[in-house]
Chains A and B, each alone.
Chain A
Amino acid sequence: MNDRNVDQLLDAWLDLGPDVAPDRVHSAVALEVRTTRQAFGWSRWASERFPSMNNPIRVAVALAAAAVIAFVGLRYLVPDNTGDPDPTATPSATASPTATPVGVPLLPPFGTPLDPGTYTIDAVPGSIVSGSGVAATLSIGDGWESGGWYVMNPPDFTKQVSFWTIENVHEDICDPESLPDPVIGPTVRDLVAALDAQANTDMSRAVDIEVGGFTGKRVIVRPVLTADCLADGDWKYFSTPHGAPGRGFGNEWHGPDTLWIIDVDGHRVVVITSTSTPDDTEASESIARVMRSLEFEVN
């Protein structure tokens, strides 16, 4: 039997079979889409990942809209004692692990361009860092913009530094139901072990680190490029205490995330850094400067 024979048999055989879906498929889908929210569109995606920026006007509009929403949210949700943002504040001089961010402005709402200086990321109600019990202070140079609980550099989006409280880790990034129950343990070691065991990601060797006077581990996590779920962007690799899904890898660039997992007096804090291209030295050095500036305070 040659390939031509096989092809002819396959042509004929695959023409057999149903060509019409049962009506229940139509009705089930119609019902399900009415109870399923659509993913956030381009603007949200652009802010959380690193897209190709080929539509700057649309992004600008989206950023402005998001900034208004975030401003209104903070205006009514944040306690008064957080004070108004003051991006021109003097960088903190202390490097002690128990440094206090008193007098350092809170990172302003999403979409606010940042002047060089020092900012605090604290438990903004409803935000992902809320519940960590730890405030972080960071110093930044030119070209950064606030994401509320992270910093980025639109319109290029070549670098990002974000702050997370990771509660649980999916056993398989392609299986949204694979969160362990009970959740993983609370230590740095527990999180490293869970990431190491995760299916459809590769994790680097864990390196000992010290950030802001606190010790921890740094790992690099990247998706396995042949994972089925990468094609449709439908993957998750950790969850937060609020049930919010953890960040995904870039939709078009399946690049690695660097996770700085730090034990701040018994509180596990995770800082995730990433660049849009692996060999972007300038972005890497800029991120390194931010990481060196970090200080933490337990609330």
Chain B
Amino acid sequence: MARAQEGDHDAFDQLALHITDRLYAVAYRILRNGPSAEDATQQALVSIWRQLPKLRDPDRFEAWAYRLLVNASYAEHRRSRREAPSGSLTDGTTDDPYLSVHDRDQLERGFARLSTEQRAVLVLQHYLNLSHDEMAEVLGIPVGTVRSRLHGARGAMRAALEADARPAPSGWQA
């Protein structure tokens, strides 16, 4: 870490090797799109490189790196939204025996309706298993705001899942 902070490219390569997969996995889950997740991960890693000399507490590196990644994901989402209308969000998810195709489809559609801020809190909680305090540090927001965003995101997902579960009005069925 210290060598990377002093501008050692090889040391940074080693550092990046340890975190790139994790960053990409998080970006993918927020953005639900492989190419966008690649771009966000790349942007985040370059930001980490550029700003590494400013990091005063190496123990907070991971939270700091996730923060840069989440911000890069926000920016990537805005950019991709300007360039193309949102379509199907998924590409390449693997099968899971505990989730039906129907469940996954419902979850994808519900998730697509969330803001990127709401997606980020859900991913940090359910994928990274961060506590509220840790999420607040990563996102740079108060813990109360984390709870509020989680509440809103979970409510929006539940509403989306329940709406999809309701039978369509007569005459709408294909």
Binding site for B on A (CB under 8 A): 1-3, 6-7, 9-22, 24-26, 28-30, 32-34, 36-42, 45, 174, 228-234, 251
Contacts and interface: CB of A to CB of B under 8 A. Distances in A.
Interface in B104-144: 104, 107, 122-123, 126-127, 139-140
A232 B47 contact: yes
B50 A16 contact: no
Contact of A17 (B29, B68, B139, B162): B29
A13 B107 contact: yes
B67 A232 contact: yes
Nearest to B70: A231
Interface string B130-162: 000000000110000000000000100110011
A36 B98 contact: no
B147 to A, nearest CB: 13
A124 B106 CA distance: 63
Where chain B touches its partner, the secondary structure class is: helix
A87 B107 CA distance: 69
Given A7-B154, A231-B140, A232-B51, 13 more contacts: A1-B158, A2-B158, A6-B154, A14-B127, A15-B127, A16-B94, A17-B25, A20-B25, A29-B42, A29-B46, A228-B74, A232-B47, A234-B51
Contacts of A45: 54
27 contacts: A1-B161, A1-B165, A2-B158, A6-B158, A9-B107, A9-B161, A12-B98, A13-B103, A13-B104, A14-B123, A16-B93, A16-B99, A17-B28, A17-B29, A18-B25, A22-B38, A24-B38, A25-B42, A33-B49, A37-B50, A38-B51, A39-B53, A228-B71, A231-B68, A231-B139, A233-B54, A234-B47
Contacts of A10: 107, 122, 126, 157
B1 to A, nearest CB: 13
Contacts of B21: 19-21
Interface in B69-86: 71, 74-75
Contacts of A24: 38
A234 B64 CA distance: 13
A200 B79 CA distance: 16
Contacts of B17: 26
B167 interface: no
Contacts of B104: 13, 16
A110 to B, nearest CB: 19
B52 A38 contact: yes
Given A14-B123, A21-B41, A29-B42, A42 B53 contact: yes
B44 to A, nearest CB: 9
